[in-house]
Structure 1
Protein backbone atom coordinates (compact mmCIF):
# COMPACT_ATOMS: atom_id res chain seq x y z
CA UNK A 1 0.00 0.00 0.00
CA UNK A 2 1.11 3.55 -0.72
CA UNK A 3 -0.16 7.00 0.18
CA UNK A 4 1.05 9.98 -1.84
CA UNK A 5 0.72 13.22 0.12
CA UNK A 6 0.53 16.41 -1.96
CA UNK A 7 0.18 19.95 -0.70
CA UNK A 8 -1.95 22.32 -2.80
CA UNK A 9 -0.41 24.87 -5.14
CA UNK A 10 0.27 28.47 -4.16
CA UNK A 11 -2.97 30.14 -3.07
CA UNK A 12 -3.96 33.75 -2.65
CA UNK A 13 -3.54 33.33 1.11
CA UNK A 14 0.10 32.31 0.64
CA UNK A 15 0.97 35.69 -0.89
CA UNK A 16 -1.59 37.96 0.80
CA UNK A 17 -2.31 37.22 4.46
CA UNK A 18 -5.00 39.91 4.51
CA UNK A 19 -6.98 37.81 2.02
CA UNK A 20 -8.21 35.78 4.99
CA UNK A 21 -9.88 38.94 6.31
CA UNK A 22 -12.14 39.38 3.27
CA UNK A 23 -12.45 35.89 1.74
CA UNK A 24 -13.45 32.69 3.56
CA UNK A 25 -10.47 30.36 3.89
CA UNK A 26 -12.25 27.51 2.12
CA UNK A 27 -12.86 29.65 -1.00
CA UNK A 28 -9.35 31.10 -1.42
CA UNK A 29 -8.27 30.35 -5.02
CA UNK A 30 -4.94 29.33 -6.44
CA UNK A 31 -2.79 32.10 -7.86
CA UNK A 32 -1.71 31.85 -11.52
CA UNK A 33 1.63 30.53 -10.20
CA UNK A 34 -0.26 27.97 -8.11
CA UNK A 35 -2.17 26.80 -11.17
CA UNK A 36 1.12 26.29 -13.01
CA UNK A 37 2.57 24.44 -10.01
CA UNK A 38 -0.37 22.04 -10.10
CA UNK A 39 0.06 21.42 -13.83
CA UNK A 40 3.81 20.84 -13.33
CA UNK A 41 3.10 18.38 -10.50
CA UNK A 42 0.92 16.25 -12.79
CA UNK A 43 3.78 14.40 -14.56
CA UNK A 44 5.54 13.79 -11.23
CA UNK A 45 2.45 12.22 -9.72
CA UNK A 46 1.77 10.20 -12.87
CA UNK A 47 5.37 8.91 -12.82
CA UNK A 48 4.81 7.66 -9.27
CA UNK A 49 1.59 5.94 -10.33
CA UNK A 50 2.80 4.31 -13.52
CA UNK A 51 -0.21 2.64 -15.11
CA UNK A 52 -1.88 1.78 -11.80
CA UNK A 53 -5.20 3.31 -10.73
CA UNK A 54 -5.37 5.64 -7.75
CA UNK A 55 -8.00 6.59 -5.20
CA UNK A 56 -7.97 10.32 -4.49
CA UNK A 57 -8.92 11.90 -1.18
CA UNK A 58 -8.99 15.68 -1.41
CA UNK A 59 -9.73 18.48 1.01
CA UNK A 60 -12.95 20.17 -0.16
CA UNK A 61 -11.34 23.63 -0.17
CA UNK A 62 -11.22 25.47 -3.51
CA UNK A 63 -7.41 25.51 -3.67
CA UNK A 64 -7.01 21.77 -3.12
CA UNK A 65 -9.70 20.83 -5.62
CA UNK A 66 -8.15 23.20 -8.17
CA UNK A 67 -4.77 21.57 -7.57
CA UNK A 68 -6.28 18.15 -8.23
CA UNK A 69 -7.82 19.38 -11.50
CA UNK A 70 -4.42 20.71 -12.54
CA UNK A 71 -2.87 17.25 -12.12
CA UNK A 72 -5.16 16.03 -14.93
CA UNK A 73 -5.26 12.40 -13.76
CA UNK A 74 -8.30 11.59 -15.87
CA UNK A 75 -9.66 8.06 -15.66
CA UNK A 76 -6.59 6.95 -13.69
CA UNK A 77 -8.31 8.46 -10.65
CA UNK A 78 -10.62 5.53 -10.07
CA UNK A 79 -12.47 7.35 -7.32
CA UNK A 80 -12.34 10.91 -5.98
CA UNK A 81 -13.57 11.59 -2.45
CA UNK A 82 -13.95 15.13 -1.11
CA UNK A 83 -12.91 14.53 2.51
CA UNK A 84 -13.68 17.33 5.03
CA UNK A 85 -11.34 15.78 7.61
CA UNK A 86 -8.43 16.74 5.34
CA UNK A 87 -9.26 20.46 5.48
CA UNK A 88 -6.89 23.12 6.79
CA UNK A 89 -6.81 23.99 10.48
CA UNK A 90 -9.88 26.11 11.14
CA UNK A 91 -8.95 29.67 12.16
CA UNK A 92 -12.57 30.76 12.52
CA UNK A 93 -14.55 32.76 9.99
CA UNK A 94 -13.38 36.00 8.36
CA UNK A 95 -10.37 37.14 10.36
CA UNK A 96 -9.63 40.56 11.84
CA UNK A 97 -6.14 41.63 10.65
CA UNK A 98 -5.05 42.98 14.05
CA UNK A 99 -6.29 39.96 15.95
CA UNK A 100 -4.76 37.68 13.32
CA UNK A 101 -1.29 39.08 13.98
CA UNK A 102 -1.71 38.82 17.76
CA UNK A 103 -2.90 35.21 17.50
CA UNK A 104 0.07 34.22 15.35
CA UNK A 105 2.49 35.51 17.98
CA UNK A 106 0.55 33.82 20.78
CA UNK A 107 0.39 30.55 18.84
CA UNK A 108 4.13 30.60 18.17
CA UNK A 109 4.90 31.20 21.87
CA UNK A 110 2.32 28.68 23.16
CA UNK A 111 2.97 25.92 20.61
CA UNK A 112 1.15 25.09 17.38
CA UNK A 113 -0.24 21.79 18.63
CA UNK A 114 -2.13 22.84 21.75
CA UNK A 115 -2.96 26.50 21.08
CA UNK A 116 -6.68 26.81 20.42
CA UNK A 117 -7.74 29.55 18.05
CA UNK A 118 -10.83 31.51 19.15
CA UNK A 119 -13.81 30.15 17.20
CA UNK A 120 -11.41 27.70 15.55
CA UNK A 121 -9.29 24.62 16.18
CA UNK A 122 -6.09 23.65 17.89
CA UNK A 123 -3.57 21.42 16.18
CA UNK A 124 -4.74 18.69 18.57
CA UNK A 125 -8.26 19.00 17.12
CA UNK A 126 -6.89 18.50 13.61
CA UNK A 127 -4.86 15.54 14.87
CA UNK A 128 -8.04 13.94 16.25
CA UNK A 129 -9.97 14.19 13.00
CA UNK A 130 -6.99 12.87 11.04
CA UNK A 131 -6.82 9.84 13.34
CA UNK A 132 -10.39 8.98 12.33
CA UNK A 133 -9.59 9.56 8.66
CA UNK A 134 -6.53 7.29 8.78
CA UNK A 135 -8.50 4.50 10.43
CA UNK A 136 -11.10 4.71 7.66
CA UNK A 137 -8.46 4.93 4.94
CA UNK A 138 -6.55 1.87 6.12
CA UNK A 139 -9.81 -0.08 6.28
CA UNK A 140 -10.71 1.00 2.75
CA UNK A 141 -7.26 0.22 1.36
CA UNK A 142 -7.41 -3.29 2.82
CA UNK A 143 -10.46 -4.02 0.63
CA UNK A 144 -9.52 -5.86 -2.60
CA UNK A 145 -11.54 -3.42 -4.75
CA UNK A 146 -9.58 -0.39 -3.54
CA UNK A 147 -6.48 0.72 -5.49
CA UNK A 148 -3.15 -0.01 -3.81
CA UNK A 149 -2.27 3.69 -3.96
CA UNK A 150 -4.14 6.61 -2.43
CA UNK A 151 -3.42 10.24 -3.30
CA UNK A 152 -4.15 12.75 -0.54
CA UNK A 153 -4.34 16.40 -1.67
CA UNK A 154 -4.37 18.57 1.42
CA UNK A 155 -2.67 21.40 3.34
CA UNK A 156 0.72 21.99 4.93
CA UNK A 157 -0.11 21.62 8.62
CA UNK A 158 -2.66 18.90 7.91
CA UNK A 159 -0.06 16.79 6.10
CA UNK A 160 2.46 17.21 8.93
CA UNK A 161 -0.13 16.14 11.48
CA UNK A 162 -1.21 13.18 9.36
CA UNK A 163 2.38 11.94 9.44
CA UNK A 164 2.67 12.70 13.15
CA UNK A 165 -0.33 10.52 13.84
CA UNK A 166 0.71 7.75 11.46
CA UNK A 167 4.27 7.47 12.80
CA UNK A 168 3.54 8.36 16.42
CA UNK A 169 5.95 11.31 16.35
CA UNK A 170 6.17 13.40 19.48
CA UNK A 171 4.52 16.80 19.62
CA UNK A 172 7.98 18.35 20.05
CA UNK A 173 9.14 16.77 16.79
CA UNK A 174 5.97 17.84 14.96
CA UNK A 175 6.51 21.44 16.05
CA UNK A 176 10.10 21.28 14.78
CA UNK A 177 9.10 20.38 11.22
CA UNK A 178 8.38 22.76 8.36
CA UNK A 179 5.42 22.45 6.04
CA UNK A 180 5.98 21.05 2.58
CA UNK A 181 6.39 23.67 -0.10
CA UNK A 182 3.35 24.27 -2.30
CA UNK A 183 2.79 21.28 -4.61
CA UNK A 184 5.59 19.36 -2.88
CA UNK A 185 4.87 15.70 -2.14
CA UNK A 186 5.90 12.81 0.10
CA UNK A 187 5.26 9.10 -0.38
CA UNK A 188 4.28 6.75 2.42
CA UNK A 189 4.80 3.05 1.71
CA UNK A 190 3.66 0.10 3.82
CA UNK A 191 5.94 -2.95 3.85
CA UNK A 192 3.37 -5.27 5.42
CA UNK A 193 4.49 -4.35 8.92
CA UNK A 194 4.84 -0.60 9.15
CA UNK A 195 4.74 2.63 7.19
CA UNK A 196 7.87 4.31 5.79
CA UNK A 197 8.40 7.88 4.57
CA UNK A 198 10.35 8.28 1.34
CA UNK A 199 12.26 11.32 2.64
CA UNK A 200 12.09 13.42 5.79
CA UNK A 201 10.43 16.77 6.27
CA UNK A 202 12.68 19.80 6.55
CA UNK A 203 13.38 20.61 10.20
CA UNK A 204 13.87 24.21 11.28
CA UNK A 205 15.34 23.05 14.62
CA UNK A 206 16.33 19.80 16.32
CA UNK A 207 13.41 18.38 18.32
CA UNK A 208 13.83 19.43 21.97
CA UNK A 209 13.13 15.86 23.13
CA UNK A 210 15.76 14.41 20.81
CA UNK A 211 13.23 12.50 18.68
CA UNK A 212 13.92 12.13 14.97
CA UNK A 213 11.89 11.17 11.90
CA UNK A 214 13.61 7.77 11.64
Structure 2
Protein backbone atom coordinates (compact mmCIF):
# COMPACT_ATOMS: atom_id res chain seq x y z
CA UNK A 1 0.00 0.00 0.00
CA UNK A 2 1.16 3.53 -0.70
CA UNK A 3 -0.35 6.83 0.34
CA UNK A 4 -0.41 9.52 -2.33
CA UNK A 5 2.38 12.11 -2.34
CA UNK A 6 1.98 15.62 -0.99
CA UNK A 7 -1.06 17.27 -2.54
CA UNK A 8 -1.90 20.92 -3.08
CA UNK A 9 -4.40 20.62 -0.21
CA UNK A 10 -1.68 19.37 2.14
CA UNK A 11 -0.01 22.74 1.58
CA UNK A 12 -3.07 25.01 1.35
CA UNK A 13 -6.39 23.72 2.72
CA UNK A 14 -8.29 26.65 1.19
CA UNK A 15 -8.13 24.81 -2.15
CA UNK A 16 -11.02 22.66 -0.90
CA UNK A 17 -13.24 25.76 -1.26
CA UNK A 18 -12.87 25.87 -5.04
CA UNK A 19 -11.54 22.53 -6.32
CA UNK A 20 -13.35 19.19 -5.93
CA UNK A 21 -11.38 16.90 -3.62
CA UNK A 22 -10.98 14.21 -6.28
CA UNK A 23 -9.37 16.71 -8.69
CA UNK A 24 -6.73 18.10 -6.31
CA UNK A 25 -3.26 17.44 -7.79
CA UNK A 26 0.11 16.62 -6.34
CA UNK A 27 2.67 19.32 -5.72
CA UNK A 28 6.12 19.10 -7.30
CA UNK A 29 7.34 17.84 -3.95
CA UNK A 30 4.60 15.18 -3.96
CA UNK A 31 5.74 13.94 -7.38
CA UNK A 32 9.32 13.71 -6.14
CA UNK A 33 8.21 11.85 -2.98
CA UNK A 34 6.37 9.31 -5.13
CA UNK A 35 9.35 8.97 -7.48
CA UNK A 36 11.64 8.09 -4.57
CA UNK A 37 9.07 5.64 -3.21
CA UNK A 38 8.95 4.03 -6.64
CA UNK A 39 12.68 3.35 -6.43
CA UNK A 40 12.16 1.63 -3.07
CA UNK A 41 9.20 -0.35 -4.36
CA UNK A 42 11.06 -1.58 -7.44
CA UNK A 43 13.82 -2.87 -5.16
CA UNK A 44 11.23 -4.73 -3.08
CA UNK A 45 9.61 -6.27 -6.15
CA UNK A 46 12.95 -7.37 -7.63
CA UNK A 47 11.46 -7.80 -11.09
CA UNK A 48 8.19 -9.45 -10.02
CA UNK A 49 4.90 -8.38 -11.59
CA UNK A 50 2.06 -6.72 -9.69
CA UNK A 51 -1.60 -5.85 -10.08
CA UNK A 52 -2.48 -2.26 -9.13
CA UNK A 53 -5.70 -0.93 -7.59
CA UNK A 54 -5.81 2.86 -7.61
CA UNK A 55 -8.15 5.37 -6.01
CA UNK A 56 -9.98 7.42 -8.68
CA UNK A 57 -8.58 10.68 -7.21
CA UNK A 58 -6.15 12.68 -9.35
CA UNK A 59 -3.45 12.68 -6.67
CA UNK A 60 -3.55 8.89 -6.52
CA UNK A 61 -3.22 8.53 -10.30
CA UNK A 62 -0.36 11.05 -10.34
CA UNK A 63 1.35 9.11 -7.55
CA UNK A 64 1.03 5.89 -9.54
CA UNK A 65 2.52 7.57 -12.60
CA UNK A 66 5.45 8.94 -10.59
CA UNK A 67 6.18 5.47 -9.13
CA UNK A 68 7.30 4.44 -12.65
CA UNK A 69 6.18 0.83 -12.42
CA UNK A 70 5.06 0.40 -16.04
CA UNK A 71 7.42 -2.48 -16.79
CA UNK A 72 6.23 -4.41 -13.75
CA UNK A 73 2.50 -3.66 -13.90
CA UNK A 74 0.30 -6.45 -15.18
CA UNK A 75 -2.94 -4.50 -14.80
CA UNK A 76 -4.28 -1.23 -13.34
CA UNK A 77 -7.80 -1.24 -11.90
CA UNK A 78 -9.52 1.96 -10.81
CA UNK A 79 -11.16 1.17 -7.47
CA UNK A 80 -13.57 3.82 -6.07
CA UNK A 81 -13.79 1.96 -2.74
CA UNK A 82 -10.18 2.98 -2.09
CA UNK A 83 -11.01 6.71 -2.30
CA UNK A 84 -10.44 9.26 0.46
CA UNK A 85 -13.01 9.64 3.23
CA UNK A 86 -15.81 11.88 1.93
CA UNK A 87 -15.96 15.08 3.99
CA UNK A 88 -18.14 17.41 1.95
CA UNK A 89 -18.45 18.71 -1.60
CA UNK A 90 -16.83 22.13 -1.79
CA UNK A 91 -15.59 22.57 1.76
CA UNK A 92 -16.11 25.75 3.75
CA UNK A 93 -12.86 26.05 5.68
CA UNK A 94 -14.23 27.33 9.00
CA UNK A 95 -17.04 24.79 9.07
CA UNK A 96 -14.71 21.87 8.29
CA UNK A 97 -12.28 22.98 10.99
CA UNK A 98 -15.17 23.07 13.49
CA UNK A 99 -16.17 19.55 12.45
CA UNK A 100 -12.57 18.34 12.79
CA UNK A 101 -12.58 19.59 16.38
CA UNK A 102 -15.82 17.72 17.00
CA UNK A 103 -14.34 14.61 15.38
CA UNK A 104 -11.33 14.80 17.70
CA UNK A 105 -13.68 14.86 20.68
CA UNK A 106 -16.12 12.26 19.36
CA UNK A 107 -13.66 9.84 17.74
CA UNK A 108 -12.38 9.47 14.17
CA UNK A 109 -14.00 6.09 13.57
CA UNK A 110 -17.61 6.96 14.37
CA UNK A 111 -17.83 10.70 13.68
CA UNK A 112 -19.66 11.38 10.40
CA UNK A 113 -19.07 14.63 8.55
CA UNK A 114 -22.36 16.38 7.81
CA UNK A 115 -22.12 15.93 4.03
CA UNK A 116 -19.78 12.98 4.07
CA UNK A 117 -18.69 9.75 5.71
CA UNK A 118 -17.54 8.44 9.04
CA UNK A 119 -14.48 6.27 9.41
CA UNK A 120 -16.83 3.32 9.92
CA UNK A 121 -18.38 4.00 6.49
CA UNK A 122 -14.92 3.79 4.93
CA UNK A 123 -14.30 0.59 6.90
CA UNK A 124 -17.44 -0.94 5.36
CA UNK A 125 -16.45 -0.15 1.78
CA UNK A 126 -12.88 -1.34 2.40
CA UNK A 127 -14.38 -4.61 3.69
CA UNK A 128 -16.39 -4.91 0.48
CA UNK A 129 -13.25 -4.29 -1.59
CA UNK A 130 -11.41 -6.97 0.35
CA UNK A 131 -13.99 -9.54 -0.75
CA UNK A 132 -13.30 -8.56 -4.37
CA UNK A 133 -9.58 -8.84 -3.74
CA UNK A 134 -9.93 -12.39 -2.42
CA UNK A 135 -11.87 -13.38 -5.55
CA UNK A 136 -9.18 -11.90 -7.78
CA UNK A 137 -6.46 -13.71 -5.86
CA UNK A 138 -8.16 -17.03 -6.63
CA UNK A 139 -7.44 -16.59 -10.35
CA UNK A 140 -4.52 -18.86 -11.34
CA UNK A 141 -2.87 -16.21 -13.53
CA UNK A 142 -2.99 -13.39 -10.96
CA UNK A 143 0.25 -11.47 -10.41
CA UNK A 144 2.34 -12.45 -7.34
CA UNK A 145 2.00 -8.94 -5.83
CA UNK A 146 -0.78 -6.41 -5.25
CA UNK A 147 -0.38 -2.64 -4.92
CA UNK A 148 -3.02 -0.30 -3.47
CA UNK A 149 -2.48 3.39 -4.32
CA UNK A 150 -4.75 5.13 -1.89
CA UNK A 151 -5.05 7.52 1.08
CA UNK A 152 -3.79 7.58 4.67
CA UNK A 153 -7.03 6.92 6.53
CA UNK A 154 -8.03 4.27 4.00
CA UNK A 155 -4.71 2.48 4.53
CA UNK A 156 -5.23 2.43 8.30
CA UNK A 157 -8.77 1.13 7.94
CA UNK A 158 -7.69 -1.55 5.45
CA UNK A 159 -5.16 -2.79 8.02
CA UNK A 160 -7.73 -2.52 10.81
CA UNK A 161 -10.05 -4.80 8.84
CA UNK A 162 -7.26 -7.16 7.77
CA UNK A 163 -5.74 -7.64 11.21
CA UNK A 164 -9.01 -7.31 13.18
CA UNK A 165 -7.78 -4.36 15.21
CA UNK A 166 -10.17 -2.86 17.72
CA UNK A 167 -11.71 0.59 17.29
CA UNK A 168 -9.75 1.88 20.29
CA UNK A 169 -6.46 0.75 18.74
CA UNK A 170 -7.38 2.35 15.43
CA UNK A 171 -8.08 5.62 17.24
CA UNK A 172 -4.52 5.62 18.58
CA UNK A 173 -2.85 5.46 15.15
CA UNK A 174 -1.39 8.22 13.01
CA UNK A 175 -1.67 8.34 9.24
CA UNK A 176 1.42 7.35 7.26
CA UNK A 177 3.32 10.25 5.69
CA UNK A 178 2.88 11.27 2.09
CA UNK A 179 4.08 8.57 -0.33
CA UNK A 180 4.92 6.19 2.53
CA UNK A 181 4.73 2.45 1.91
CA UNK A 182 3.22 -0.22 4.12
CA UNK A 183 3.67 -3.83 3.04
CA UNK A 184 1.79 -6.96 4.07
CA UNK A 185 4.29 -9.80 3.74
CA UNK A 186 3.20 -13.43 3.79
CA UNK A 187 5.09 -15.43 6.41
CA UNK A 188 5.98 -19.12 6.59
CA UNK A 189 2.62 -19.89 8.23
CA UNK A 190 0.75 -18.46 5.25
CA UNK A 191 -0.44 -15.40 7.18
CA UNK A 192 0.53 -11.78 6.68
CA UNK A 193 2.62 -9.44 8.80
CA UNK A 194 2.77 -5.64 8.52
CA UNK A 195 6.37 -4.66 7.80
CA UNK A 196 6.26 -1.22 9.48
CA UNK A 197 3.69 -0.42 12.19
CA UNK A 198 1.75 2.82 12.14
CA UNK A 199 2.97 5.29 14.73
CA UNK A 200 0.70 6.00 17.69
CA UNK A 201 -0.14 9.35 19.26
CA UNK A 202 -1.23 7.50 22.42
CA UNK A 203 -0.35 3.97 23.55
CA UNK A 204 -3.10 1.41 23.00
CA UNK A 205 -3.01 -2.38 22.61
CA UNK A 206 -4.51 -3.96 19.50
CA UNK A 207 -7.15 -5.70 21.62
CA UNK A 208 -8.26 -2.71 23.73
CA UNK A 209 -11.97 -1.93 23.54
CA UNK A 210 -14.23 0.87 24.69
CA UNK A 211 -14.37 -0.89 28.07
CA UNK A 212 -10.67 -0.05 28.51
CA UNK A 213 -11.07 3.60 27.48
CA UNK A 214 -11.00 6.43 30.04
CA UNK A 215 -14.50 7.13 31.37
CA UNK A 216 -16.45 10.07 29.95
CA UNK A 217 -17.47 12.65 32.53
CA UNK A 218 -21.02 13.93 32.03
Q: TM-score under structure 2 normalisation?
A: 0.92
| Count of paired positions | 208
CA distance in 1, matches of 2:104, 2:129: 27
Counterpart position of 1:109: 105
Counterpart position of 2:204: 207
Tell me whether 1:197 sits opposite 2:194 in the alignment: yes
Higher alpha-carbon deviation: 197-206 or 124-133: 197-206
**Structure 1 unaligned residues grouped into runs of 5+:** none
Tell me whether 1:137 sits opposite 2:137 in the alignment: no
Q: TM-score under structure 1 normalisation?
A: 0.93
Asked whether the equivalents of residues 160 and 166 of structure 2 are also in contact (C-alpha less than 8 Å), the reply is yes
CA distance in 2, matches of 1:190, 1:209: 20
CA distance in 1, matches of 2:84, 2:148: 13
Counterpart position of 1:55: 51
CA distance in 2, matches of 1:136, 1:69: 24
Tell me whether 1:181 sits opposite 2:172 in the alignment: no
Residue 210 (structure 1) shift: 6.1
The 3-state SS of whatever aligns with 2:177 is coil
CA distance in 2, matches of 1:76, 1:194: 25
Residue 47 (structure 1) shift: 0.7
CA distance in 2, matches of 1:190, 1:139: 18
Counterpart position of 2:16: 20
The 3-state SS of whatever aligns with 1:56 is strand
Q: Kindly report structure 1 stretches of 4+ aligned residues shifted beyond 6 Å.
A: none
Residue 173 (structure 1) shift: 0.5
Identify which of structures 1 and 2 has the higher relative contact order when contacts are C-alpha pairs closer than 8 Å and 6+ apart: 1
Asked whether the equivalents of residues 55 and 80 of structure 1 are also in contact (C-alpha less than 8 Å), the reply is yes
Counterpart position of 1:36: 32
Asked whether the equivalents of residues 141 and 148 of structure 1 are also in contact (C-alpha less than 8 Å), the reply is no
**Structure 2 unaligned residues grouped into runs of 5+:** 209-218
Alignment of 1:40-189 (within 5 A): 40-189=36-185
Residue 19 (structure 1) shift: 1.2
Asked whether the equivalents of residues 165 and 207 of structure 2 are also in contact (C-alpha less than 8 Å), the reply is no
